[in-house]
Amino acid sequence: MRRLILAIPLLLFIQCKQQPAAPTGLVTEKAMVVSAREEASKIGSEVMRKGGNAFDAMVATELALAVAYPFAGNIGGGGFIVYRKNNGEIGGLDYREKAPLAAHKDMYLDSLGNVIPNMSTVGATAVGVPGTVAGVFEVHEKFGSLPFSELIEPVIALAERGVVVTEKQAKRIESYHDRFVEVNGDSTKFAQAFKAGDTIKYPMLAKTLTAIKEKGKDGFYKGEVAEKLASFIQEQGGFVTVEDLERYEAKWRDPVVFNYKDLRMISMSPPSSGGVTINQIFKMIEPHNIGKYDHNTARPIQLFTEAARRAYADRNYFLGDPDFVDIPLGVLLDDTYLQNRMKDFSFDNATLSSAVGHGEVEIVESSETTHYSIVDAQGNAISATTTLNGGFGSKLYSEELGFFLNNEMDDFSSKPGVPNMFGLIGAEANSIAPEKRMLSSMTPTIVEKDGHLYLVVGTPGGSTIITAVAQTILNVHEFNLSMQEAVNAPRFHHQWLPDYVVFEPDGFSKELIEELKSKGYKINEERTPIMGKVDAIRVLPDGKLEGGADRRGDDTAVGF
């Protein structure tokens, strides 16, 4: 009897853990889009209400973000999607930018072999060949069900009607103002001051989108738009030519797929490092049953940090464009290899990154890029992450075409051993070559549970993307948070080098920080940035959808 009484709280606890958390985000019956702006989520959702599928909604949402969220939404950048159809078929699309034909390994080095400051980050010299327009056409041709014109028309209308500036957007535009003027002079659209409540209209972007509507992919990569774009970039000192644009192709890639406990995860493969790195992190923590600890306490933070430390050390050394380098994926993702990597892990003391690798670098920025998640009424799912790299990319804005150009060339390692703008140290595998794709951290991810769609997850955040996606999945699955709670939960990050843990503001107590410090963790207490803006969807046990829209931004879930 006494034993039974003692067992009751334990049974209740296990029972509690097994009941999925009640939703706290938007719940819809059938379909949902979660993206960085309400305008884009609405356009994507409307496409599905009209009978379009998730792939149609992807086309509309991606293009709508180029209008509503020029900070990272784009037609001058690139991205990745991972999809899962309702019949279980999965795939990935790489519409990542690539290096122009004129690019070469030392293009950002001076005569002494030193990296030339800003050349790979600011202005025309930083621009890679954009992939987004090729990406949306590839998706539409393969899986779309509505005519392309029906998908782009609401986006053109939005560009003409204009987008109301939010408080957060006004602050961002203000903080980038001087850089816009430095790169573009003082007479372009973004040299003006905008305040919250103003409406920004994009008539020139509407014109470019109309050319795409009328001529398809060629409306961007050939003819008038391509000629104007290439001349503009070259006049400003950059390298992208008409031939580069004409040769651009999006590529279908097999995603990285792995099991974690009762979950099956599907994430992006190289040239994104996202899938490989979260695969390594999850497999390194799997034997330790992280869910038995309280959320965001010392032990799960230690476990996650040590796995991330080891995974990022591999990421930075081995990964690059698979069309150019041989990546030893078989070894990197092998269970025994990963368990051996964690052999020296102990809860008593931090492992020093110098024992795993070497170098001293600094994280500079981490909030760019944008992500959206889509589920349609048939159960098809898309996880899409798209970027200009930095906020507003290279800051180079074509007034005539109405959009910003990326600074994605900085995602190559300009010089092995020297950090990029995210503080990531690259290696030979990610060195520059003509037509090569630069390594990415974008981690669009779909999770299945018991063979059914369970989560659609992703985020911006540069090098912090991978850890934010992994923590969001763990928050739902191991710590039993709702989708919205999992997105809201404070995040932390470690990326091997620099060897310190970074915490978001206000989410972690002084005592916890002191406890970690006493175990040898180096903690950057001066820098507590916001990490990522996760936009995610959870399929509830009754088949309804719960959105997790990140309040760190203006992100919004819309559906029906």
Q: How many residues does the chain have?
A: 560
Q: Which residues contact 538 (CB under 8 A, 6 or more apart)?
A: 23, 454, 455, 476, 482, 483, 545, 546, 548
Residue number with CB closer to ligand GLY (163 or 325) = 325
Binding mask 378-417 for ligand GLY (x = CB under 6 A): ---------x-x---------------------x------
Applying the rule CB under 6 A, the residues between 130 and 149 that interact with ligand GLY are: none
Nearer to ligand GLY, 389 or 475 (CB): 389
Amino acid occupying residue 263: L
Point out which span in 110-118, 150-158, 439-447, 551-559 binds ligand GLY (CB under 6 A).
439-447
- Per the CB < 8 A criterion, the answer to whether 470 and 497 are in contact is no
Q: Of 208-227, which residues contact ligand GLY (CB under 6 A)?
A: none
C-beta closer to ligand GLY: residue 56 or 368: 368
Q: How far is the CB of 168 from ligand GLY (least distance, A)?
A: 20
Closer to ligand GLY at the Cβ: 39 or 411? Answer: 411
Q: What distance in Å separates the CA atoms of residue 319 and residue 321, rounded to the nearest whole number?
A: 7
Closest approach of ligand GLY to the CB of residue 87, in Å: 30
Q: Which stretch binds ligand GLY (CB under 6 A): 10-18, 165-173, 332-340, 434-442?
A: 434-442
Q: Per the residue annotation, which of 132, 208, 305, 369 is the catalytic one?
A: 369
State the pairing for strand pair 256-260/263-267.
Answer: antiparallel
Q: How far is the CB of 62 from ligand GLY (least distance, A)?
A: 16
**Cis amide bond preceding 498, omega within 30:** yes
Closest among 438, 442, 177, 156 to 321, alpha carbons compared? 438
Closest to ligand GLY by CB, 370 or 380? 370
| CB within 8 Å of 430: residues ≥ 6 apart | 319, 320, 321, 411, 412, 413, 438, 439
Rounded least distance, CB 300 to ligand GLY, Å: 25
Structure tokens at 66: 């180029």
Give the sign of the dihedral formed by CA 464, CA 181, CA 211, CA 154. positive
Q: Is 271 an interacting residue with respect to ligand GLY (CB under 6 A)?
A: no
Q: How far is the CB of 441 from ligand GLY (least distance, A)?
A: 4
Alpha-carbon distance of 338 to 190, in angstroms, equals 48
How open is the CA angle 84-31-46, to the nearest 5 degrees?
Answer: 115
Candidate list 74, 279, 369, 430; residue touching ligand GLY; CB under 6 A? 369
Q: Would you say 75 or 226 has its CB closer to ligand GLY?
A: 75
Closer residue to ligand GLY in complex, CB, 373/488: 373
Q: Are 414 and 440 in contact (CB under 8 A)?
A: no
Residue 446 is which amino acid? I
Which of 366, 383, 441, 445 binds ligand GLY (CB under 6 A)? It is 441
Burial of 49 (0-12, 13-18, 19+ CB in 10 A): middle
> Cα 442 to chain center, whole Å?
4
Q: Tell me the window of 19-27, 372-380, 435-443, 495-503 that interacts with ligand GLY (CB under 6 A).
A: 435-443
Give how many residues touch ligand GLY by CB under 6 A.
Answer: 8
Secondary structure element (H or E) that encloses residue 339, with its range: helix 335-341
Among 229, 285, 442, 534, binds ligand GLY (CB under 6 A): 442
Q: Cα angle vertex 503, ends 499, 507, to 5°?
A: 160
Asked if 94 touches ligand GLY (CB under 6 A), the answer is no
For residues 443 and 465, the answer to whether their CB atoms sit within 8 Å is yes
CB of 275 to ligand GLY, least distance (A): 12
**387 or 471, CB closer to ligand GLY?**
387
* Residue span 458-497 as binding mask against ligand GLY, x where in contact by CB under 6 A, dash where not: ----x-----------------------------------
Residue whose C-beta lies closest to ligand GLY: 440
- Any catalytic annotation for residue 208? no
Q: Is 440 in the site for ligand GLY (CB under 6 A)?
A: yes
State the DSSP H helix or E strand holding residue 150, giving kind and residue range, or none if neither. Answer: helix 148-161
Binding site for ligand GLY (CB under 6 A): 369, 387, 389, 411, 440-442, 462
Just list the catalytic residues: 369
